[in-house]
Amino acid sequence: MNAKAAAPMKILFLCTGNSCRSQMAEHILHHVGGARFEAHSAGSRPAGFVHPLAIEALHRLQIPILFAESKRWDRYADERFDAVLTLCDSAAKEECPVFPGAPLTVHWGLPDPVYHPGAEDERLEFAVSIARRILSKIEGLIALDWSSDRRQLRKELERLGEI
């Protein structure tokens, strides 16, 4: 008798425009999370494109972009997630859809590379630094014991938001 494989942990990353930080997070988790995780991203007011800074930052970190689409968060309104992580302060302040199953919701505030001042090369270096911070947080996320108590898991996700 074959044991049924555990369903992957579903994680949704939210930013207002779903063009940079949430896109980087989705692709990074997709790349490093393996079959244990299913990554998605969306926004309240999607830009309609993935920002070139996000694409180039991921390229520099050798993270493949297999699919990239700026999506509205109501696309996922009927889906169950294990965690919903907001990455921008404005998205964290907005009223998010109520997702079925009461996922853990945590804010990982990160500055937006799109609005970083400076020349294009400075903005790109900033985007790469944000992508590295997201990678570090996601490496912590995949190392968590997802079967632990929800309060403890929330604390650990919040701690990751502070690094």
- Mean pLDDT, range 141-163, rounded to an integer: 95
Select which of 28, 53, 55, 88 is catalytic: 88
Q: Which CATH superfamily is domain 9-161 in?
A: Response regulator (3.40.50.2300)
Average pLDDT over residues 42-49: 95
pTM: 0.93
Spatial strand order in the sheet of 104-107: 37-42, 9-14, 83-86, 104-107
pLDDT tens per residue across span 56-90:
999 999 999 988 899 999 999 999 999 999 998 77
- pLDDT value at position 1? 45
Confidence of residue 6 (pLDDT cuts 50, 70, 90): confident
Does residue 92 carry a pLDDT above 70?
A: no
Known active-site residue 20 = no
DSSP symbols for 68-100: ----BGGGGTT---SEEEE-SHHHHHS-----T
List the catalytic residue out of 96, 125, 144, 146. Answer: 96
* Cβ neighbours of 47 (radius 10 Å): 16
Cβ contact 64:27 at 8 Å:
yes
* Active-site position among 11, 12, 14, 15: 15
